[in-house]
Amino acid sequence: MGEAVREMDWSSWRREKEKKENATMWDMFHLGISRDGLYASDDPNVNKLLHHVTRMPIAHITQKEGGTQLKLIIEFADGGHALFKPMRFPREQETLKNHFYFTDFERHNAEIAAFHLDRLLGFRRAVPITGRNVNITRELYALAQGDLLKTFFISPDNNLCFHGKCSYYCDTAHAICGNPDMLEGSFAIFLPGKEAAPRKVWRHPWRRSYHKRRKAQWEVDDDYCELVKEVHPYNEGRRLLDIMDMAVFDFLMGNMDRHHYETFKMFGNNSAPLHLDHGRGFGKAHHDEVSILAPIYQCCLMRHSTLHTLLRLHTGPERLGAAMRRTMSADPLNPILTEAHHEALDRRLTTILQVVRECLIKAHDPHNVIINDLH
């Protein structure tokens, strides 16, 4: 019953958009969202929309409520919206050695790179994101209001800075500063509003403990996957395989911060999870965090289509690191990643294939490991 009502909200909202005389690029993006992904593999609108976002004048800015680190909701002159994450540190700065994944600063370039990685892996579950240079004086300070406006100041080095209000790192010591007032940031296309397209938030079964002295159950129980396989929604349908895809994606970028994930309620339980929030990926180019692959080595599962893509990106002709370099070269903030991260992507891909190989050696039947979804 509940599902049916939500389907109706979504369809009346869709009809409303489709009726509009001139559907905007933003409308087209929203209308293209499906059960399987946020856009189609051959959708030319995605690159067009991202290019548009790099040039469109900004009309309004507000702080995004909640969240641990500062984010701005940007409204453009044509009525479209994006989620802005500012650059805090130069790309060369790695995750601080004594920081946990949950105290790591977010990186705008990781958000951009993660979108490209998700698309190259064929998932299309991450929101399209582009980099853009903003002029803090003209494009942020001139539009800021209320509490946000009060946080702008000139630093001792004569740069324009602000820190906003949030529960972590929103103070003078952790301000976001321009050079002298130019600032890099990531702009993520906004998803349809929660009213028209409500989302469900799920705890990730392999989430980390977020406590500096405690371990999660999957870290101490090698049979953890057997438990997960018993419970909804992992006991049927696509979801457990989606978790394997997420592990591939997160391991390649070194993202340990996948505590929750979201799905659109209107598509029901058998829909693709969204890949959101990758600001803590690409933090350490010289360390491979193999525990991110725990879902894969504990369950020994992978979609055939995913394995197929991984093998292609491993053997070439264009390998993963090179493909990332190529697709990100059009971004205004190119280069997005340092060379060491491109090397890490190819090295980690080899590790994933090795883990799958070990699963196949152990398995009684390879069809229990590689799940055929290529019909």
What is the rounded CA–CA span in Å between residue 66 and residue 365?
47
Q: In the complex, what is the shortest distance from the CB of residue 28 to ligand ATP, in angstroms, rounded to a whole number? A: 16
What is the rounded CA–CA span in Å between residue 271 and residue 83?
24
Q: In the complex, what is the shortest distance from the CB of residue 189 to ligand ATP, in angstroms, rounded to a whole number? A: 6
Binding mask 269-288 for Mn ion (x = CB under 5 A): --------x-----------
Q: Which of 127, 243, 302, 310 binds ligand ATP (CB under 6 A)?
A: 127
Applying CB under 6 A, does 190 fall inside the site for ligand ATP? yes
Q: The tokens of 310 are what?
A: 């991984």
Q: In the complex, what is the shortest distance from the CB of residue 276 to Mn ion, in angstroms, rounded to a whole number? A: 8
What is the rounded CA–CA span in Å between residue 205 and residue 207?
6
List of E strands, the chain: 58-63, 72-76, 81-86, 129-135, 153-154, 160-162, 176-177, 182-189, 199-203, 260-264, 302-303, 370-371
Q: The tokens of 317 are what?
A: 């002709």
Q: Which residue's CB is nearer to Mn ion, number 256 or number 369?
A: 256
190 is an annotated ligand-binding site residue: yes
How many positions of this chain bind Mn ion (CB under 5 A)? 1
191 is an annotated ligand-binding site residue: yes
Q: Which residue's CB is nearer to ligand ATP, number 99 or number 367?
A: 99
What is the rounded CA–CA span in Å between residue 35 and residue 209?
30
Q: In the complex, what is the shortest distance from the CB of residue 56 to ligand ATP, in angstroms, rounded to a whole number? A: 16
For residue 96, give the DSSP letter.
P
Tokens 């933090």, located at residue: 283
Return the HEC string of 160-186: EEECCCCCCCCCHHHCEECCCCEEEEE
> Which residues within the stretch 265-284 sit at the binding site for ligand ATP (CB under 6 A)?
276-277, 279
Whether 257 is a known active-site residue: answer yes
Q: Which amino acid makes up residue 14?
A: R
Q: Which residue's CB is nearer to Mn ion, number 224 or number 261?
A: 261
195 is an annotated ligand-binding site residue: no
Q: In the complex, what is the shortest distance from the CB of residue 134 to ligand ATP, in angstroms, rounded to a whole number? A: 17
Q: Which of 191, 240, 333, 344 binds ligand ATP (CB under 6 A)?
A: 191
Q: Assess contact for 95 and 283: CB atoms under 8 A.
A: yes
33 is an annotated ligand-binding site residue: no
Binding mask 90-119 for ligand ATP (x = CB under 6 A): ------------------------------
Q: In the complex, what is the shortest distance from the CB of residue 277 to Mn ion, in angstroms, rounded to a whole number? A: 4
Q: Which residue's CB is nearer to ligand ATP, number 255 or number 306?
A: 255
For residue 139, give the DSSP letter.
I
> Which residues within the stretch 20-79 sit at the binding site for ligand ATP (CB under 6 A)?
67-69
106 is an annotated ligand-binding site residue: yes
How many positions of this chain bind ligand ATP (CB under 6 A)? 13
Integer-rounded Cα Rg, in Å, for the chain is: 21
Applying CB under 6 A, does 197 fall inside the site for ligand ATP? no
Catalytic residue among 245, 250, 257, 331: 257
69 is an annotated ligand-binding site residue: yes
Q: Assess contact for 209 and 218: CB atoms under 8 A.
A: no
Q: Which residue's CB is nearer to ligand ATP, number 7 or number 262?
A: 262
Task: Dihedral sign for Cα 67, 71, 72, 76, please.
Answer: negative
The 10 Å Cβ neighbour count of residue 178 is 22
Tokens 């590790």, located at residue: 351
Applying CB under 6 A, does 252 fall inside the site for ligand ATP? no
CA distances to 5, 13, 28, 309, 312 from 302, rounded to whole Å, are 34, 36, 32, 12, 15
For residue 103, give the DSSP letter.
T
Q: Which parts of this chain interact with Mn ion (CB under 5 A)?
A: 277
Positions at the binding site for Mn(2+):
106, 277
Task: Report the catalytic residues.
Answer: 257
Positions at the binding site for ATP:
69, 85, 106, 188-191, 262, 277
Positions at the binding site:
69, 85, 106, 188-191, 262, 277
Q: Which parts of this chain interact with ligand ATP (CB under 6 A)?
A: 67-69, 83, 127, 188-191, 262, 276-277, 279
